[in-house]
Amino acid sequence: MTSSTDIIGIRSDFPALNGTMRGKDLVYFDNGATSLKPQIVMDALDGYYREYSANIHRGVYEMSERATAAFDRARETMYRFLGVDPEKGEVIFTRGTTESINLVAYAWGMNVLGPEDEIVLTAMEHHSNIVPWQQVARRTGASLRFIPLTEEGTLEEDGITATIGPRTRLVAITGMSNVTGYVPPLKTIRREARRHGALVLLDGAQYVSHHPVDVQDLDCDFLAFSGHKLCGPTGIGGLYARRTLLEQMEPFHFGGDMIREVHLRESTWANVPEKFEAGTPNIAGAIGMAAAAEYLMNVGMESIARHERELNAYMYDALSTLDYVTLYGPVSDSERGGIFSMNLEGVHAHDVGSLLDQQGVAVRTGFHCAQPLMAHFGITGTVRASFYLYNTPDEIDLFVRALERLYGILR
């Protein structure tokens, strides 16, 4: 995949890359926020809405049966993408990572945790993996503990064992920081959590899009992910959870399609996974996300990860030559995914982003829904450049040249 021929072929699959921004060829470095979509995903969405836009699971007519079959196949695709046993029904469709974490917080945390329990987090988490647990702690009396960070924003070597203890019931941690790209030592965290009988929730919003995933190997209890970060539509994502936990958990939403029987004063629930999917689901979104997952699997997730590692090394070397750039996160590029947050000496991040926009370069500026990590670094925001499978070293060269030009202008 790393050959120029492969990249040309992949880039041709993404119509947005044929466009311009401010009259310049588009350099899309905002993949940490959302990814571009290949034509195959748009075709899948169009096919549903154009040819068989019916509701599922109830209709006995052909269009409904076709929609039901496509929706069910979408779930089977996500089983394969995540390495889930298809017999266990362990993938719940949600609106994305945020709703998936909230589902665990409400359906598990609110019902299980109490004043003697601890939830272990870190200060590098996205707000979606902090705020729900603040609410759980407030309502249940559970305590929040945070694994300490080093100056560069990685986990302290001894902090994992010092923070996870006998009162820990859940460790909720990102698989890859959306600010620095840092990939924490997940196996060490999992081992320490297991030693104390704690569950592990992995915020996979960034991780799932860029790494081969096998939940059996990850050995996590919950894995939250979003479709729009893996080349799928917005408004769709999922939650992997162990079957035994899903059977114990109460539903998060109530209504149609998640019930077995409804009587005037009581109801019973459908089996997992439908138990957690009340109402008409995002049928098109699930079909589109599955098309994206198929596309990524055809390219090869290991090939994508290898390509991004090469881009990481290239970007790190290029930025290291600019003495006015402060880069946040691990010094070693082997510990980071394709996300680089930086600031230019004496220049506001928003000014950098605005001028890059004039050069056709799309980046994200601000605090990236990670204010505790910004506070740790003693800053209010950064310029964030994030890669994906369709980005190239030539785009990095253009990005670095643009930084050099605009620094000269602003200084």
Q: Domain holding 271: CATH number?
A: 3.40.640.10
Same domain, residue pair 188 and 337: no
End-to-end CA distance of the chain: 40
Same domain, 219 and 309: no
220 and 262 part of one domain: yes
Amino acid at 311: L
Judged by DSSP in three states, 391 sits in coil
Of 298, 319, 348, the residue at which a domain comes to its end is 298
Buried b (16+ CB within 10 A) or exposed e, 5-20: eebeebeebbeebeee
Owning domain of residue 194: 44-298
My answer on whether 278 and 359 are in the same domain is: no
User: What residues are annotated to the active site?
Assistant: 369
Q: Would you say residue 101 lies in a domain?
A: yes
170 assigned to some structural domain: yes
Taking 60 as the threshold, does the pLDDT of residue 2 lie above it?
no
Name the domain boundary from 265, 280, 298: 298
The first and second tokens of residue 407, run together, are 């620094």
Q: Which of 259, 274, 298 is the last residue of a domain?
A: 298
Report pLDDT digits (tens) over 77-98: 999 999 999 999 999 999 999 9
Residue closest to 176 by CA, chosen among 344, 309, 11, 320: 309
- Mind listing the pLDDT tens digit for each residue in 227-285? 999 999 999 999 999 999 999 999 989 999 999 999 999 999 999 999 999 999 999 99
Residues listed for the chain: 411
Establish if 39 belongs to a structural domain.
Answer: no
38 is a domain residue: no
The CATH number of whichever domain residue 342 belongs to comes to 3.90.1150.10
pLDDT tens for 21-57 read 999 999 999 999 999 999 999 999 999 999 999 999 9
Q: How far is CA 107 from CA 84, 110, 113, 240, in A?
A: 21, 6, 11, 14
Pair 86, 26 in one domain: no
